[in-house]
Structure 1
Amino acid sequence: MNKIGFDSKKYVEEQSRYIAERVSHYDKLYLEFGGKIIGDKHAKRVLPGFDEDAKIKILQRLSDKAEIVICVYAGDIERNKIRGDYGITYDMEVFRLIDEFRSLGLSVNSVVITRYHGQPNTKLFINKLEKRDMKVYTHKSIEGYPSNVDMIVSKEGFGSNPYIETTKPIVVMTAPGGGSGKLATCLNQLYHENQQGRSAGYSKFETFPVWNISLKHPLNMAYEAATVDLKDMNMIDNFHFEAYKEVAVNYNRDIEIFPVIKRIIERITKKESIYQSPTDMGVNRVGFGIVDDEVVREASNQEIIRRSFTVQCDYKKGLLGKDIVSSMQILLDQANLKQTDRPAVQPARDYAKRCRKRSETNETPAVIAFELKNGQIVTGRTSNLMDSSSAAILNSIKQLANVADEIPLLSLAILETIQKTKSDVLRNRRPVLNANEILIALAISAVTNPTAQMCYNKLYELEGVQAHSTVMLKKDDEQILRNLGIDITSDPEYPSENLYYI
């Protein structure tokens, strides 16, 4: 049974009230949203009980006062940067965000292309947006940003970038990912607002790190693990301590850039900033929603381990350097954790070892172990019929429905027909059925087979299941498991020696 460590309702109420109080000091507040507004899976994993759409609910409470601007860096469009959790490029993520926000009744003002200098793919992206009646602004790079304050706060700096016309007192700046230019866009707006005689302010809404818990709390260490590729490090906010004699946690980039941001804001507003520290700039109240610290600590430790597998797999794929792997190992050691502290890991490896003894090849056997929410471990392996993801899903729902292992859910004749279609009609050289195909077959079988229907109904209970694979999965299978709410990790091993692996 899942334990609860976080009160999401209390958090939404506290956070909404705090943002409303902050905006009361200005004609307009530019609120930089860090992390994910929709579907914050990281927060959900490390704060059991956290509503992954809590930020959206906060915005919906403020919807009559708020509108959204989406920033995206032109360079990320040019190189087709991928958002890992959805497996889509940043330009497609912008489209997805616009659709999501609109469906939730939130006002999307515009899209801002940052550091734009006529890049060809970005031009096409702008054209697509404008053809769909979406307002688009382009901001160029400013020479010397962020250190050359004289240049930045001038007609040749912020003054050369267009002002984004907004109508509501809260303007939320969000983006598909980090490095998209949200801060620069907020400061650009402050410059133009002040030039037009309006009082405007800036604040930052970052869920992590949590400023009012200890520096080495597993929750804050899990944030470091999640951003290890960015080389973010949690630090004591020395500015906050000097001003208030109060210990607060922030991260290196915010602390390092704070004096510059403070100078820019003071130059724009021509008065002393109300902010004495980067923590002051934040409006994060997530720490006040923690109701069981031990539950949060355990969940955060599991996230650190999960991230260590992600780093190793990305290194194997050539996406990260050895230095990132070393940094991740240091985090594991500091937290006194081993990868086998993840309960699904050793059973998967042990089963793979037994399969290897029976195998005639040297390839790593593809095995997945599911840790069900009741603590039971269920395994599945790749066979000539289906892959390990499919086998583990079927075995798990049979276990949850108390269906004997020897009772077949799916007709072998149907599965073989699907395989034949893949190989003979679609000319697929690997007709092993994947998770998507097996789930479709299960849904069809459930119409006429009561046992299949009973097991099909148990699919919803897979949400929150922890899983580990002895090989790296294909993107399609990874996404299916994510869609089911299963948290999957993998050993950094390819399932075969073939170079063409998707």
Structure 2
Amino acid sequence: MKFGFDNNKYLNMQSEHIKERIGQFGDKLYLEFGGKLFDDYHASRVLPGFEPDSKLRMLMQLSEQAEIIIAINAADIEKNKIRHDLGITYDVDVFRLIQSFTDKGLYVGSVVITQYSGQKSADVFKTKLETLGICVYRHYIIDGYPSNIPFIVSDEGYGRNDYIETKKPLVIITAPGPGSGKMATCLSQLYHENKRGVKAGYAKFETFPVWNLPLKHPVNLAYEAATADLNDVNMIDPFHLEAYGTTTVNYNRDVEVFPVLSAIFEEIYGECPYKSPTDMGVNMAGFCIIDDEVCREASMQEILRRYYQALLRLAKDTGSKDEIYKIELILKQAKITTEKRPVIKAANELVEQKGSPCAALQLEDGTIITGKTTNLLGSSAALLLNAVKALGEIPHDVHLIAPSAIEPIQKLKTYYLGSKNPRLHTDEVLIALSTCAATDPNAQIALEQLPKLKGCEAHTSVILSDVDMKIFKKLGVHLTCEPLYEENKIYH
């Protein structure tokens, strides 16, 4: 795989820049962390070479100076809001985050429940955390927020919120997802710290959009595609342009809220330490791109993947047409068509020839591998077997799994477990392959090729089962699907 991003340079540069920002304010820095602290697969896809846990590793370099506060909106607890990438609710994800940070040796100081107005579910959540020895604080809904600055910056506004006790000079504010109240938590703490005579500052760490790349650079357009359902829009930072005469990129919510932030800073400190939203950021990712063309190509692929994901959500009645329209506009701006993704054409052309569901995968060297649905295998399972054969230089007509070995599995599925689909899914095929590898050298060679599928592009002509999608994800294959079910049924 070609790299376009220097991850080691990023880790060193980012941690040093954050240290400099701590020193700018004196005693303490509240750093709002946007996006994912770990498992940042979007960044790793659009910036090849970026490791999904890079931000976490960077924080581990600062572990002696840092502590973490996790913010969660009481309304999200009340309505059981779900993280769709993990399939768990925000409150459950708080426990996951605490455990993950603790396992890495990072100190989680507390949890803050924002937008609290007496929700019973939030009280139950607070009790669960406190039973585990975790400090929990409450921040309340403030009337007139964010416009009524004099009231917000008063004892009846921020002053009513619990003061969060912190011990370290760098306080990371993170959350299960957007809308959790990270920025409001930071500003409330600045108010309380100032009342206590502590010199505290605020900064924001948001990987995307990359502020020192052009507005319509594919990396930034890929971020817009990723957040199409949130109506985020990248834009030139007008405040930075006016203050410095330099063009930088930010996104609409930060630009819109900056006058309010500036006014709040002035109320607390007498002056605002920043002249623009870009000034508030500490992201160094743009300085660590070592091959712009590689990152452009990767980002174009990501935009197409996001488009097909939006089509898939609409087919499953969990998305919207507006999201699709927005990504279609991004495709036009980037001058991208589906021809940019060869596996789409390969899978769909095979369907026309075979008349059954098909799949295609592009290996690192550009070779296209295909698979079709048979009586024994689903198209995605056949695709995986054909791919590992090609990678292991095993003749196509060699059976890695004998039909006689597949038939008992089919009987188990249909006769004993009541499944209506006798064909093997990807997980069942891989288990069968690993069993055969104990006695068949070809199967063992094929099994050893699986890591080489990481980073490959794949497309299927129908919507896959959740099981198959998860297997492709675990293998690191970048999958898209046509928004069509294999069978025309009311319930799937």
TM tier, shorter chain?
over 0.9
- The alignment of Structure 1 onto Structure 2 pairs a total of residues equal to 491
Query: Which stretch of the first structure deviates more once superposed, 331-340 or 317-326?
Result: 317-326
2:73 is matched with: 73
Separation in structure 2 between the aligned mates of residue 297 and residue 448 of structure 1, nearest angstrom: 45
Gaps of 5+ in 2: none
* CA contact 1:114–1:181 (8 Å) conserved in 2: yes
Residue 118 (structure 1) shift: 3.9
Q: Are 1:473 and 2:473 counterparts?
A: no
1:260 is matched with: 260
Residue 123 (structure 1) shift: 4.2
2:448 is matched with: 457
Query: Which stretch of the first structure deviates more once superposed, 115-124 or 194-203?
Result: 115-124
Map residues 49-68 of structure 1 onto 2, 5 A cutoff. Answer: 49-68=49-68
Where 2:390 maps in the other structure, the secondary structure is helix
Normalising by structure 1, we get a TM-score of 0.94
1:70-119 deviations in Å (ceiling 9; x for gaps): 12223333333332333333233222222221221111122222223344
1:353-390 deviations in Å (ceiling 9; x for gaps): 2222xxxxxxxx43221111111111123333332222
Where 2:207 maps in the other structure, the secondary structure is coil
* CA contact 1:370–1:379 (8 Å) conserved in 2: yes
Separation in structure 2 between the aligned mates of residue 123 and residue 386 of structure 1, nearest angstrom: 50
Separation in structure 1 between the aligned mates of residue 399 and residue 129 of structure 2, nearest angstrom: 50
2:246 is matched with: 246
Q: Are 1:194 and 2:194 counterparts?
A: yes
Where 2:342 maps in the other structure, the secondary structure is coil
Residue 128 (structure 1) shift: 3.6
Map residues 365-376 of structure 1 onto 2, 5 A cutoff. Answer: 365-376=356-367
Map residues 150-189 of structure 1 onto 2, 5 A cutoff. Answer: 150-189=150-189
Tell me which amino acid in the other structure corresponds to 1:411.
A
Q: Are 1:297 and 2:296 counterparts?
A: yes
Separation in structure 2 between the aligned mates of residue 436 and residue 33 of structure 1, nearest angstrom: 36
CA gap of 1:458–1:332, structure 2 versus 1, over 3 A, is same
The counterpart of 1:447, out of the listed 433, 438, 445, is 438
Q: Are 1:87 and 2:78 counterparts?
A: no
CA gap of 1:267–1:299, structure 2 versus 1, over 3 A, is same
1:1-38 deviations in Å (ceiling 9; x for gaps): x2221111111111111000000123111101111111
Separation in structure 2 between the aligned mates of residue 224 and residue 126 of structure 1, nearest angstrom: 35
* CA contact 1:86–1:479 (8 Å) conserved in 2: no
Where 2:375 maps in the other structure, the secondary structure is coil
Query: Which stretch of the first structure deviates more once superposed, 277-286 or 392-401?
Result: 392-401
Query: Which stretch of the first structure deviates more once superposed, 467-476 or 453-462?
Result: 467-476
Residue 305 (structure 1) shift: 1.3
CA gap of 1:29–1:434, structure 2 versus 1, over 3 A, is same
Gaps of 5+ in 1: 357-364
Map residues 252-331 of structure 1 onto 2, 5 A cutoff. Answer: 252-269=252-269, 271-331=270-330
Q: Are 1:99 and 2:99 counterparts?
A: yes
CA gap of 1:290–1:408, structure 2 versus 1, over 3 A, is same
- The CA RMSD over aligned residues, in Å, is 1.7
Normalising by structure 2, we get a TM-score of 0.95
Where 2:305 maps in the other structure, the secondary structure is helix
Residue 339 (structure 1) shift: 2.0
Query: Which stretch of the first structure deviates more once superposed, 107-116 or 278-287?
Result: 107-116
Tell me which amino acid in the other structure corresponds to 1:178.
P
Tell me which amino acid in the other structure corresponds to 2:257.
I
1:446-488 deviations in Å (ceiling 9; x for gaps): 2232221111111111110111111222222212211111111
* CA contact 1:225–1:328 (8 Å) conserved in 2: yes
CA gap of 1:481–1:122, structure 2 versus 1, over 3 A, is farther
The counterpart of 1:425, out of the listed 399, 416, 420, is 416
Separation in structure 1 between the aligned mates of residue 426 and residue 135 of structure 2, nearest angstrom: 40
Separation in structure 2 between the aligned mates of residue 80 and residue 102 of structure 1, nearest angstrom: 25
Separation in structure 1 between the aligned mates of residue 176 and residue 464 of structure 2, nearest angstrom: 24
Residue 121 (structure 1) shift: 4.2
Separation in structure 2 between the aligned mates of residue 129 and residue 354 of structure 1, nearest angstrom: 58
Where 1:344 maps in the other structure, the secondary structure is helix
CA gap of 1:81–1:479, structure 2 versus 1, over 3 A, is farther
Residue 201 (structure 1) shift: 0.7
Query: Which stretch of the first structure deviates more once superposed, 373-382 or 421-430?
Result: 421-430
Q: Are 1:32 and 2:23 counterparts?
A: no
Separation in structure 1 between the aligned mates of residue 311 and residue 338 of structure 2, nearest angstrom: 11
Separation in structure 2 between the aligned mates of residue 320 and residue 394 of structure 1, nearest angstrom: 33
1:483 is matched with: 474
1:206-228 deviations in Å (ceiling 9; x for gaps): 11111112111111111111111
Tell me which amino acid in the other structure corresponds to 2:16.
R
Tell me which amino acid in the other structure corresponds to 1:130.
E
Separation in structure 2 between the aligned mates of residue 461 and residue 191 of structure 1, nearest angstrom: 52
Tell me which amino acid in the other structure corresponds to 2:179.
G
Where 2:486 maps in the other structure, the secondary structure is coil
Percent of paired sites with the same residue: 51
